[in-house]
Chain A
Amino acid sequence: MQTRGPSIWERMLSIDRRILYLLLFANIVLFLLLPIRMRAAVSPPVQKFYDEIEKLQPGDLVMISSNWSASTLAENQPQLEAVIRHLMRKKAKFTLISVEAQSRDISYRLASRLTPEGGYEYGRDWAHFGFVTNLIVSIKGMVNNLPDTIKKDVRGTPVSELPLLKGITSLRQYKMIIDVTPSATVPFWISYAPKETKILYCPTSVMAAEAYTFLDSGQIKGMITGAKGAQEYEQLLGIVGLGTRFVNAISFSHVLIILFIFLGNLALFMNRRQMRQEG
């Protein structure tokens, strides 16, 4: 007795995953290269983020905790670039700190590349504290005695000798903390940073889901979520950065995934129908 081969619906249900990967790859490359620009609807968390930085006065001091490495570059780099540009626009001064060596190097190089655009000088307008091994201990230490906790910056200069930090002895003197991270480090800032210092958050899209509770309760004042959030933020700033360029690929990848979800369900439905008819 001849057995029939798999129907088209059965083949669709068990499609080789390599075909899916190839299609996604082609989709991403195509839409990265195509110069399509779409306007985003700015979400409330991003608007809040923007508004908080807009409230900064020239000379206000901001702490940027940059904990991302190459793996989350696509999401965190656009965020950090946009944040630094906005801070420079407001003439706010900032210091960077990281919790691992790779993120220290990446954020230091990024800031060194961007800061000349705003006429910022290292030591006078911005500095990098290098990396710390224990974030909780470091935050507590910076609240009590910042120069004693950090001691030297990434270039080996004693922190107390930096013009930027003249008279700064505690994290309490910072107006704002911005956490750019793919990890769950913001609860530590919320728990141990001074209550009067505002906290803003730049997570990857995956980590954003668990931050809405902090946003709701006011423990963080604003949030930029991944590359998509960076694109909304860039739109508010009126610049075209990495976020704007990446978001096309993201948008149309979502469309491709949704299309295949529909196709998968169609195949499931048609296959069941066929089996009932044969049945």
Chain B
Amino acid sequence: MWQIQNPNTPTGQLILWMIVLGAFIMIMGLVPLLHALPPRGRRAIIVIITFITGLFFAIEFFLPINKEQKNFLTDAIQPAQQAVQVITALALALGTYGLVRLHLRNVVQQRAQWGYSLVLLISFVMMATFSITNTLSEQGLVEKTPLLEQGFKLLFDYTLVQLDAAMFSLIAFYIFSAAYRAFRIRSVEAGILMFTAIVVMIGVVPLGATISPYLPGVANWILTSLNAPVQRAIEFGVGIGGLAMAIRLWLSLERGVT
């Protein structure tokens, strides 16, 4: 019901283009309308749109389902999620524009540390060029030259991938300094924390089994019988908190960022 029937026929294509054009006109009309409205009017529109879109998901969830696990609204979920993806893509373009604008201005005006901005811009352009060209070549739209292949490999395999791994491995070193600083017996609770951490750290590695056959069992007990129930309790609280927040947003009771 929510899909265009026969989209590959001329009629289907026409309907598709009419929908795209209509959505474009509606949004282009909506933006000046929202600007023209007073703040109260603007807020009213936002509240109504928020409520209706939230109501859609709530109704779809609570309506009875047929043997195919669907009700009449279920097929509209996927287009709705795809619309979210479109918005995310637009936001990404906006974010990228903001990033490039900031650093371009740093370079042009030679602000403090503009050298880093220059490096960013050069890397950005190079990576974007090689990545886009590589994707086009995979689809056969552009010839895959040795320069493209080597360049992409150099930037992706030999630079990006390695930098990713290097940043992640920083965590190992940071854990060492954080643990050295944090695990000091300044109170009873800190002492319990330290002792438990040491037992688990040694118990989960083969060395623990070598030191004592009981250590792995104790470590596993701490993880499954102490850690897991506490985590469940925290997750319950987080889940309820999230649900409450979602209700407040849906009903526009949350004035935070709206």
Contacts and interface: CB of A to CB of B under 8 A. Distances in A.
- Verify whether A and B have any Cβ pair under 8 Å: yes
A228 interface: yes
Given A133-B85, A261-B180, A268-B185, A212 B223 contact: yes
A33 interface: no
Contact of B161 (A102, A134, A215, A264): A102
Given A257-B176, A264-B180, A265-B185, A213 B162 contact: no
A209 to B, nearest CB: 6
A176 B108 CA distance: 56
A24 B173 contact: yes
Contacts of A134: 81, 85
B179 interface: yes
A169 interface: no
A30 interface: no
A120 to B, nearest CB: 24
A212 B235 CA distance: 12
A247 interface: yes
Contacts, number: 124
A212 to B, nearest CB: 4
A254 B201 contact: yes
Contact of B184 (A136, A137, A252, A264): A264
A70 B172 contact: no
B166 to A, nearest CB: 9
A170 interface: no
Band of interface residues on B = 35 or more
A228 B176 CA distance: 19
Contact of B162 (A40, A70, A251): A70
Given A71-B164, A261-B198, A43 B216 contact: yes
A41 interface: yes
A11 B213 CA distance: 37
A69 B227 contact: no
B231 interface: yes
A228 B194 CA distance: 22
A70 B176 contact: no
A251 B220 contact: no
A190 to B, nearest CB: 13
A71 to B, nearest CB: 4
B165 interface: yes
A168 interface: no
Given A71-B164, A71-B168, A265-B194, A260 B180 contact: yes
A223 to B, nearest CB: 11
A28 B176 CA distance: 13
B190 to A, nearest CB: 10
A250 B160 CA distance: 25
B209 interface: yes
B81 A258 contact: no
A55 interface: no
B201 A209 contact: no
Contacts of A231: 206
Contacts of A253: 172, 176
Given A136-B81, A268-B185, A39 B168 contact: no
A38 B207 contact: yes
A69 B161 contact: yes
Nearest to A214: B228
A44 interface: yes
B192 to A, nearest CB: 14
B205 interface: yes
Contact of B201 (A258, A264, A265): A258
A215 B227 CA distance: 13
Enumerate the 9 nearest inter-chain pairs by beta-carbon distance, A residue then B residue, closest first.
A71-B168, A38-B206, A212-B228, A70-B161, A41-B209, A251-B205, A41-B216, A251-B207, A40-B206
28 contacts: A20-B176, A20-B180, A21-B173, A24-B172, A28-B172, A38-B207, A38-B209, A41-B209, A41-B213, A43-B216, A44-B220, A70-B161, A71-B164, A71-B165, A72-B168, A102-B161, A133-B85, A210-B235, A212-B223, A212-B231, A228-B206, A251-B206, A257-B179, A258-B201, A264-B181, A264-B183, A264-B184, A265-B184
Interface of A: 15, 17, 20-21, 24-25, 28, 38-41, 43-44, 69-73, 102, 133-134, 136-137, 140-141, 209-210, 212-213, 215-216, 225, 228, 231, 247, 250-258, 260-261, 264-265, 268-269
Given A71-B168, A257-B179, 20 more contacts: A24-B176, A41-B217, A43-B216, A43-B220, A44-B220, A71-B165, A137-B78, A137-B81, A209-B231, A210-B231, A213-B228, A228-B204, A231-B206, A253-B176, A254-B202, A254-B207, A260-B179, A260-B180, A264-B183, A264-B184
